Structure 1
Amino acid sequence: MIFVSSFALAVGPQFWEDNSQQSFSGGDPQYVSINSDGELSLAPQLKKIYGGTDPIFWKIVRDSKGNIYIATGNEGKVIRLDPSGNPKQVLDASELEVQALAVDKLDNVYAGTSPDGKIYKIKPDGSSAPFFDPEDKYIWSLALDDQGNLYCGTGDQGKIYKIDPLGNGKLLIDTNESNITALAWDQKRNLLAGSDRNGILFSIDPTGKAFVLFDSDFQQISSIYSDPSGEIYFSALAGIPIAPMPTTPAPVAKPVTVPNPDTAEENEEPEGSVTVEVGPSAPMTPMPQQQQQLKATGASQLYAISPDGFPELLYTAAEDQILDITPFGEGMVLLSTGKKAKLIAVDRNKKSTILLRAAEEQITSLIQVGGRIYAATSNPANIYELAENHSGKGTYYSDIKDAQTTSTWGQISWKATIPQGSSLNLYTRSGNTKTPDETWSDWVSAGTNPDGRRIDNPKARFLQYKAEFGTNDPKITPILRSVSIAYLQQNLRPDILSINIMPPSLLYRKTQIYPQESFAGLSQDLSEETTQPQQSAYGQSSFEINPLGKSEFRKGYRTVIWNAVDQNNDEMRYELDYRLDNQKDWKVLAKDLKDKVYAWDTQSMPDGTYVLRIVASDAPSNPIALTLTSSKESDPFEVDNTPPTIEVTNSTMEKGVRILQVKAQDAISPIKEMEYSVAPGQWTPVFPIDSINDSRSEEYRIALTNLPAQATEVILKCTDRVGNIAAIRYGL
């Protein structure tokens, strides 16, 4: 989805734009395809040829007579489906799962079971018997060579066995991985093996010597396909590791009620839950340095290795797990996925088309025979044939559009091609919950004019649209290319989060975000004066919305900074008012401020306790009638422009040293320091009798040691906390 605003700020309408595969992929396409150019069309038909009672179909193979063999989960059965669609159970194993199948040239079928892994041989007449029983717990994958030798990938020790036609097996290789999850042959008749734990693709020659073709950044290699040109395609998964099989049958999953387009009622909604997980995967490990450009992202990825050995990433699935790969048309492969049961076509140029999303939760296995493609699903378990013709109906449900606040809906418009004999209708609905429920409005037609019609749904925060596709001719389909929706957010009041009054008599340099160095909060810069280095503003406040630079002494100034936000992203202006703490009436200090900082010269103000008020307005972004304001008051603070008083209360001589008793007082601020000087430019600090300058009245005992013989007076200087300075001369 592309979000577009008609202005730099949130004034005026805003727009949602769906016009790419990425933006449309956030929705739910039911019997609708999404190609790499972001075009939506009716998906190919899925012809259901068998629906079982099992929750999982793990694997399918097809023999030379057209029989399809189905490996099932939770009851350890193999079902044979004849060309007419009639099922027959040909194996009922004692193990719970049949997860691997292979068929030889004589139409014998081999079935690998788990746990307590065992291989059974099923003859064409339907009889079966144990064929090979290794010590390993799981049989994950099977492959046959040209001589009729069977190879099996096992877990949980990652071994591969070679078994001759008589059932005599020997260890071919121990990969030191946890599981061997996929087996296939390349065009040079090397055995390709994909592992689980470190996600490694091996190439194994007839002697059993292994070579690593690819060390992925994922946990598991889930499927492998080698095309006649020598290209090797394989998928890698990330996620949870392969789990041991349950000791009791898992419950049958509740089917997801995505309708068959040929039998569905109008406006039927997707719902349902899943209770059986398919498509195991696991934690990631780092890949070698030479493959860093292929670093893993998303839930799964499709790679291709060229005949000269160079790997390339072709496709990334952000959420779905790629479970199987089969050839599809010319120069393409077809992927089946889990989490959402999708068929995705990918070509060598990295262009992809989401052909369809099925009603089930996973498409676990694919086979291609003579140009015909069959798919096995799980949760619930069904067998389909993929047809070339388009489905008669399909519906695309958009993702939920979030306007962030209650909004008025504008127009919906779209771009489409609708051949004669086909139809395309758009609808919208709105609500105030993230997930549509019974409180949402009904679907309302968007009309037939693609140039736009005002959305006739109640004001709300969330909106969703759907596009219903139809055709009377299975060889044609409408095509939807883009959808645009306008909305106007309800205006919300600005929110002043905090006000911070900085320490007195300090100004702060603006930081590098400002075009030139100047003082924050001043309409114009001050002339350079003698400055006293002070601590950074950050030492006084954790306030970060107005980053302040180095502080400098400027008598009488108080800098105020504040933080304000507007949920509509409206441009704001600020008014700054003040009053004495014991008064009620506010007086305007500054208006039409853009920055959230102001430096107030208080030297002309009477001493006292003051309060500031910030008034925020979104007037620049709204008509006068819709403008909103909010205000917030600061904590009280002192303004003190009067210096302290200095009084010499006593002067005595003790052992030849002049001793002065001095009292300093300030009406508002604590005393900061006392100094004396008996020679020009030389100041000596003194501390109060109680050792700490911390109150508005302090007493000092000053011993004038090393007094020059010609000295006739001493200068006493006292400074309060806000920088007011008093000085007196005292004759000796």
Structure 2
Amino acid sequence: MLKQKNTAWFCVNVAAALFWLWSLGALPARAEGAAFWEAARKEDYLSGRLVGLSVSDNGILRVVPTPQLLGDTQQPFALCSLLVGQDVYIGTGHDGKLFKVATNGTMTLVADFEELDVTALATDGKGTVFAATSPDGKIYQLTGGSARVAYDPPEKYIWALECLADGTLVYATGAKAGVFALVRGEMAARALFTTDESNITSLLVAQDGAIWAGTDPGGLVIRMAPDKTVTAVFDAPSREIRQLAQLADGTVLALGIGDGKPAAATSSPVTSADVTTGDGEGGASPPLRPASGGTTLYRLGSDGRQAPIWTTGDTATVLVRWQAGVLVGLGSGASGGQGRLFFITPDGQASLFGTVDEERVAAASVGANDALYVVTSGLAKLYRLGPENQNEGVFTSAVQDAKALVEAWGYCYLESKGDVVFQTRTGNTQSPSSLWSDWSAETPSPGGMIRSPKARFLQWRIRLKKGAEVTAVRIAYLPKNLPPVITSFSVLPVGVALQEAVMPPPDPSLVTSGLDPLQFGIIANQPPRKVFQRGARTLQWQAEDKNGDTLTYRLAYRLRGQTNWKPLAEKLRNPFFVITPELLPDGTYEFQLEVSDSASNPTALALTSTQLLGPVIINNRLPKITFLPSVISEKESKLKVEILAAAFPLKSVEVAFNGGDWELIYPDDLVLDSASETFTLTYRQLLPGEYLVSIRVLDAALQTTSEKFILAIKP
């Protein structure tokens, strides 16, 4: 019993030492044999599911407020919200309904409009609520629980509403993009300014009374000063400015969506003009569509400086001032189906503030004592997030794939403080189901041995109590060793040899460090270069190992028709081997390639794969040239030549007469396709004397041979 305790003490302390080394960067992410799943960055946690937790930019998990459900509209989409006193108004689509939810959870259907979407809400601060609808929409006024049409503008889409201090209603439009003012009691609106853009998508009434607007698809931020001067103050790289917010120091933040904006986008301010009621069609431009390409938050300082301070690959729809910074709400498939709120400081420091189970955060309002009212989409619900942390939070990882059944689980190491526990579950299906194991018993930090059954997939979760933090998580396992796979095994043409690329030897300390040589500019496994080597036969292959093991190669050979294999080369590291002319005698051979991962595995776990190649002809004999008996005379001489190929077919035959140029000749049957070919050389009207006839032969192995014949013409 004492021995077991000492063993456990030793294992835990070794685990702690390993984790300490890893945290300092002293251990590679994957050692020989062992492999690890790690979570130490913000992105690692965002790939999983967080409940009641925030994650900072430097990857620290903390407990935060848990959303409290106040109301469920039973509608699929929410497009806008507005906090008025103790009530939250929620505009939905595509049934065009407006709900009011009291902070005690009481929910009322305020209006069911004819139009499809409730796109914007505003209040004059005196109890009157305005709602804008689209398409072919209207502006409704809600007073005393009833809704009436306050104005029917000619524009097709209304994207934003704001009320000025004097009660004037300002609205932004699409299709015919502009910003218009509707003075209470008047029957017509007047244009504050219009642009060449398709849509004005956002409005902000600044502290100094200026009106700011964001556009689509040019991504412009436009400001109308209190003196009515209109200026495009920012041309963002993004396609659309979805939301605008202002901080206490006057800094304006702009939420840019998407990319791929047109090459040029300009605003065209106009003088004030009355706009009378029309037929409601507005124009032929297409409606605003969700942009793609992620989200960028821009800071527009009061000093004129403009800079992007935060970006994400998801599409954001919410920007609301909160405490000393802003909250950005977003959600997409990339975030695992959760709507998420990020808190962004003015200098761009971001932390995940909270999550909801629905797929998107659609709107948000800040109430008294920094209480936050969040509206979701996917299912249009209202949540309240109070300022105080809950008792605990839970993080559930994405499913981890070992690519094959694991050989053994190792330890789960937690770098944390406070009350933290972890659990695991495993299975052999990609998605957790009833076929998976149950969650293991909770193990407190700093961790311990994983007790879940061996399987291909693993999921882990950690539970943090109030005040606890998690800095990093590391899970160790030994992958099931998989046999190497030979993807190709071939022989190159005769005479083509390979030479290993000459590389300077790496630093021995780098070799033993386990670090990737690419980090130091060392390119490993450079392809060999091809060179000509007469008579050489080069065997070349490709093999891969899903475990990433180091592979070694063994070659054996036998003459075709034989049974036993003979060793040719062992412990090869390069995926090729050159058979020089003197290495093997002439013949037709078969070769066996064996690939082993023994360099990375214990002998008992090492695996091999083999593949055969053949037939491969090895021949160092040259074609044979024979001059046959011929008829020779002064009038006409017919010289007969027989050429016998060795192992390779003939490629070309040439003749040179009396030291002249080489000329290509064909056999008597005109086709150079046999092991034995006969050629007839005819010479007429030669003067008496001796003439030199030379024959040169090239075979398919690029071997050449030649013979000469003295043609004597007697008088």
Q: Could you say whether these structures have the same fold, taking a TM-score greater than 0.5 normalized by the shorter chain as the test?
A: yes
Q: Deviations over 1:450-471 (max 9, x none)?
A: 1x31111122222111012334
Q: One-letter code of the match for 1:73? A: G
1:17-416 equivalent positions in 2, closer than 5 A: 17-63=38-84, 65-82=85-102, 86-123=106-143, 125-167=144-186, 168-205=188-225, 210-238=230-258, 281-283=289-291, 299-319=294-314, 321-330=315-324, 332-339=325-332, 340-372=338-370, 373-407=372-406, 408-416=408-416
Check whether the contact 1:237–1:281 (CA below 8 A) recurs between aligned residues.
no
Task: Report SS of the residue matched to 1:711.
Answer: strand
Distance 1:225 1:234 in 2: 7
Q: Does 1:699 align with 2:678?
A: yes
Change (3 A) 1:208 1:653: farther
Distance 1:716 1:632 in 2: 43
Distance 1:597 1:650 in 2: 48
Check whether the contact 1:5–1:13 (CA below 8 A) recurs between aligned residues.
no
Q: Does 1:459 align with 2:454?
A: yes
Distance 2:331 2:289 in 1: 11
Distance 1:352 1:616 in 2: 50
Q: Does 1:443 align with 2:439?
A: yes
Change (3 A) 1:402 1:690: same
1:115 shift after superposition? 2.3
Distance 1:549 1:282 in 2: 52
Check whether the contact 1:644–1:726 (CA below 8 A) recurs between aligned residues.
yes
Provide structure 1 residue ranges, at least 5 long, that are not aligned to the other structure.
242-278, 285-297, 472-476, 517-544
Q: One-letter code of the match for 2:435? A: T
1:116 shift after superposition? 2.0
TM-score, normalised with respect to structure 1: 0.80
User: What residue is the counterpart of 2:570 in the other structure?
Assistant: 591
Return the match for 1:634 from 596, 608, 613: 613
Change (3 A) 1:625 1:652: same
Provide structure 2 residue ranges, at least 5 long, that are not aligned to the other structure.
1-21, 262-286, 333-337, 506-524
Most deviating of 683-692 and 625-634: 683-692
Check whether the contact 1:45–1:388 (CA below 8 A) recurs between aligned residues.
no
1:143 shift after superposition? 1.3
User: What residue is the counterpart of 1:261 in the other structure?
Assistant: none
Distance 1:84 1:459 in 2: 49
Distance 1:220 1:412 in 2: 45
User: What residue is the counterpart of 2:424 in the other structure?
Assistant: 428
Q: Deviations over 1:572-611 (max 9, x none)?
A: 1111111112222211111111101111023463433211
Distance 2:687 2:346 in 1: 97
Distance 1:484 1:103 in 2: 51
Q: Deviations over 1:83-132 (max 9, x none)?
A: 65544444343323222111114332111012221001123x33432111
Q: Does 1:717 align with 2:696?
A: yes
Return the match for 1:495 from 480, 485, 492: 485
Change (3 A) 1:496 1:648: same
User: What residue is the counterpart of 1:11 in the other structure?
Assistant: 32
User: What residue is the counterpart of 1:540 in the other structure?
Assistant: none
Query: Among the aligned pairs, what percent are the same residue?
Result: 29
Distance 1:708 1:346 in 2: 104
Check whether the contact 1:104–1:148 (CA below 8 A) recurs between aligned residues.
yes
Change (3 A) 1:715 1:83: closer
Change (3 A) 1:87 1:608: closer
Distance 1:689 1:630 in 2: 51
Task: Report SS of the residue matched to 1:436.
Answer: coil
1:691 shift after superposition? 4.3
Change (3 A) 1:8 1:106: closer
Q: One-letter code of the match for 2:354? A: L
TM-score, normalised with respect to structure 2: 0.82
Distance 2:103 2:538 in 1: 86
Check whether the contact 2:172–2:203 (CA below 8 A) recurs between aligned residues.
yes
1:212 shift after superposition? 2.7
Q: One-letter code of the match for 1:599? A: V
RMSD of aligned alpha carbons: 3.1
Change (3 A) 1:20 1:96: same
User: What residue is the counterpart of 2:266 in the other structure?
Assistant: none
Most deviating of 193-202 and 220-229: 193-202
Distance 1:703 1:515 in 2: 61
Check whether the contact 2:496–2:530 (CA below 8 A) recurs between aligned residues.
no
Change (3 A) 1:663 1:442: same
Change (3 A) 1:607 1:136: same
Distance 1:584 1:84 in 2: 88
Change (3 A) 1:380 1:683: closer
1:145 shift after superposition? 2.2
Distance 1:506 1:52 in 2: 75
Return the match for 1:478 from 449, 468, 488: 468
Check whether the contact 1:197–1:283 (CA below 8 A) recurs between aligned residues.
no
Check whether the contact 1:671–1:719 (CA below 8 A) recurs between aligned residues.
yes
Task: Report SS of the residue matched to 2:443.
Answer: coil
Task: Report SS of the residue matched to 1:374.
Answer: strand
1:224 shift after superposition? 0.8
1:515-530 equivalent positions in 2, closer than 5 A: 515=504
1:570 shift after superposition? 1.0
Check whether the contact 1:198–1:215 (CA below 8 A) recurs between aligned residues.
yes
Q: Does 1:567 align with 2:562?
A: no
Check whether the contact 1:223–1:325 (CA below 8 A) recurs between aligned residues.
yes
1:716 shift after superposition? 3.1
Task: Report SS of the residue matched to 2:568.
Answer: strand
Check whether the contact 1:5–1:15 (CA below 8 A) recurs between aligned residues.
no
Q: Deviations over 1:526-584 (max 9, x none)?
A: xxxxxxxxxxxxxxxxxxx98343432x3321011100111111111111111112222
Aligned length: 637
1:28 shift after superposition? 0.6
Q: One-letter code of the match for 1:433? A: T
Task: Report SS of the residue matched to 2:621.
Answer: coil
1:136 shift after superposition? 2.2
Most deviating of 67-76 and 343-352: 67-76
Distance 1:89 1:669 in 2: 91
Check whether the contact 1:240–1:283 (CA below 8 A) recurs between aligned residues.
no
Check whether the contact 2:658–2:692 (CA below 8 A) recurs between aligned residues.
no
Q: One-letter code of the match for 2:318? A: D
